[in-house]
Amino acid sequence: MPHNLPLEPNRFIGRERDLTEVAGLLTRHRVVTLCGAGGIGKTRFALQVAGRVVDDFADGVWLVELAKITRADLLLHMLADVLQAAEEGSRTLLDTLIGRIAGQRILLVLDNCEHVIEECARVVDALIANCANLRVLATSREPVRIAGELVWRVPPLDLPDDGAIEASEAVQLFLERAYASGSRLEPADETMRTVGQLCRALDGMPLALELAAARTRVLSPEQISDRIKDRFKLLTGGERTAPARHRTLLATVQWSHDLLEEGERVLLRRLAVFAAQFDLEYVELVCGDGILPAEDILDLLAGLVDKSLVQFDQARYRLLETIAHFAREQLKEAGEEQELRDRHLRVTRDRARDDFWVDMLKKLPGDKRLQAFGKVADRNADHRAALAWAVETGQAEVGLETACYLYPIWAVRGTWIENRAWYERLLSLDTSGVRPELVGEAWSRQADMAFGQDDLATAERSALRGLELMRTRPGYRFALGLTLNNVAIIYLRTGRPEEARRHAEEALEGATQAGDLWNIGMAHNGLTLIAGLGGRLREAQRHAEDALVAFRETDQPWGIGRALISVGVLGRIREDYENARANLEASLPYLEALDAKPEIARALAELGRVATQQGDLGRARDRLVESIELSRKIGQRRGVTRGLAALARVAEASGEIESAVLLCGTVAALRDAIGQRSSVAWAEEILGRARAEIGESRTGLLYAHGRAMSEEAALQRAQSAEPVAPASPGPGEQVSMEAASLLTEREREVVGLLVKGMSNRRIAEELVISPATVARHVANIMLKLGFSSRTQVAAWALEHRIVNG
């Protein structure tokens, strides 16, 4: 079939499903417009589609490259040239073209319509109305906007995930173009991870990827990744035969920007203050002012979406990072950065307060609470940007207000490490002009973040400092109730139950007088733990039920989930296992709706304990491993300790006494690290039975080995059905030369230094490793050889000439 499609300069990569879809659309729609940002690959995609359907058009597939013209009145002449239609003095050129096309089955590919979009709309509308068998495939940064047009947004290339980096279209394109440029990339794992990060940073935009790949002739992927922040300088040097606007990334984006109306340009640069997705309300509040009235923003934003400079999906908008980078530079050049970032900070604070915080004090349906929680939680990237600006510019008060309004979301999600740092940075600013009660509230919230990290000493100091400052303002209020309840839990964890009870009861009294259902529930929850640990189960049950009533009355999902866990724990202690399991499982939907990982991990651990006591050891192991992995993911060592302790009991119940002893040792080391002081009678019971079964020496050796094990190694040990170690003689018996084969090369090095009488610290210095690592090696060596002292190891090594003395 006749056509003027060019030969492809190199292999087209990916988008197989998209090509099939668009080729099918041309059988049902007469005008299909491929829209997308500059550099997204619209032209190559259109040519691929055209090549696939060329046999369906008996009279030809004709490419019209509109980028070659600079004036709209030349469009008809370009069409006439391509279709070889001679101008006739007796009628207009449009009529001549209609006469040329009418009755023929033709596909016109109109490439790059955006700069002559109005003339394109007029001409295509007329051609379609008069030529029944004509199909048009257009590429443009905005729709042509004629009747019957179907707009198909060209997406970026598929981005890599961590499990299948090389399978992604973006990575495949990068590698193909890198090799074509003469690069000698080695596809090692670390290189592939860097390439994957680079592809994500470039949004899967083909032009950006091709320009970056060309740089691999002189830069490694790591060096390119380091320089990508200055992408408009780095990504230059496209093919000499490419259009000028495609030779550098900056020229491509600048081309789109120059076609905007003035209001669209102003809005585009102001959108750069948003760190991630944003909604219309957020944009109106931050970007609207006397220069850009809020009532005009919807139309301007819609225009930017049409022109493919803003992405839209389900009522949320976002900028591709390349566009955002360009917009940030424009914002600085316009001198608006400080004003817009100040406004963004204030609006972010107000949204956290009005969209979520004030609702903590109201009776609301649970679905409304979840909606408010999700709305604010989804703005996490903007919270970071706003708080960073507050720190950078010394705006302590508005920064502290923002952080305190966000506290419940941070506490529920368990994001302690990052958010503790935000409180610390903000409190390091000059707070002399800030209300003392606000500073105190920030200290107490920082204490809760430290508590989540098991830093009990810091948690106690900060909480008491915060409470003292908060009491400078008389009277009860919601924030004071939160602090009193948190202080109570800190006192409980540090072994002072009476102090804990006093603060929880003060919180309960104030909250009851104020009708503060949230803190009523939290106080009862704390009193449940205090009574339960004191062995007063009936009192604990009453408080747990009261907490559940308060949280159900205000329909607080997180509170309901926590209270159900407490009821479930008490059921387990009373050996009412069915009731315990039912309440624990009922807690999960509430917690999962909030993605409350710390409490989900706690519920799973309790379900594992219940299953253990019911004798369902397989189910118990699964639940506990799931709990530990979740706790490790959020960095909560307390949760890891809880889960490993429960797994020790599963191991013993399964007849794996040696694994149980190892886990007891690991749990003991973790408890020491996080300052846990509560009773460990269960561990002594396991160790006592182990001494009777496998001997005191073997038990001690395994326990020491467990103390030196990492969390990960302990978890792997708990999931393994293999024996703890190969059979080896006990202490005092002769160990054969075959035992030497059990040692790794590093362990043999350690043995050699033990023979010389070196301490762990001296060995660490000699081998340039940490003393803790040396301790693990020594424990492993003694376990493998069956010895209980370093002296025995050294004597054996000298006797059997394992090393030279």
pLDDT in tens, 78-107: 898 888 887 776 688 898 899 889 889 999
Tell me if 109 sits within 8 A of 140, measured CB to CB: no
Tell me if 504 sits within 8 A of 497, measured CB to CB: no
| pLDDT tens readout for residues 150-177 | 999 988 888 887 667 777 888 888 888 7
pLDDT band at residue 461 using 50, 70 and 90 as cut-offs: very high
Cα–Cα distances in angstroms (integers) from residue 584 to residues 232, 577, 605, 616, 639, in the given order:
54, 10, 10, 16, 16
**The tokens of 434 are what?**
């800030």
Tell me if 499 sits within 8 A of 480, measured CB to CB: no
Amino acid letter for position 118: E
What pLDDT score does 162 carry? 64
Cα 485–chain centre separation: 30
| pLDDT tens readout for residues 645-656 | 999 999 999 889
Q: What is the pTM (predicted TM-score) of this model?
A: 0.68
| pLDDT tens readout for residues 246-273 | 445 666 677 667 778 899 999 999 999 9
Per DSSP, 215 falls in state G
Percent of the chain beyond pLDDT 90? Answer: 43
What pLDDT score does 726 carry? 37
Percent of the chain beyond pLDDT 70? Answer: 89
Reply yes or no on whether the pLDDT at 728 is more than 70. Answer: no
Reply yes or no on whether the pLDDT at 565 is more than 80. Answer: yes
Of residues 680 and 484, which shows the higher confidence score? 484
Tell me if 661 sits within 8 A of 687, measured CB to CB: yes
Rounded-to-10 torsion of CA 623, 627, 630, 634: 170
Strand runs labelled E in 81-130: 106-111
What pLDDT score does 336 carry? 95
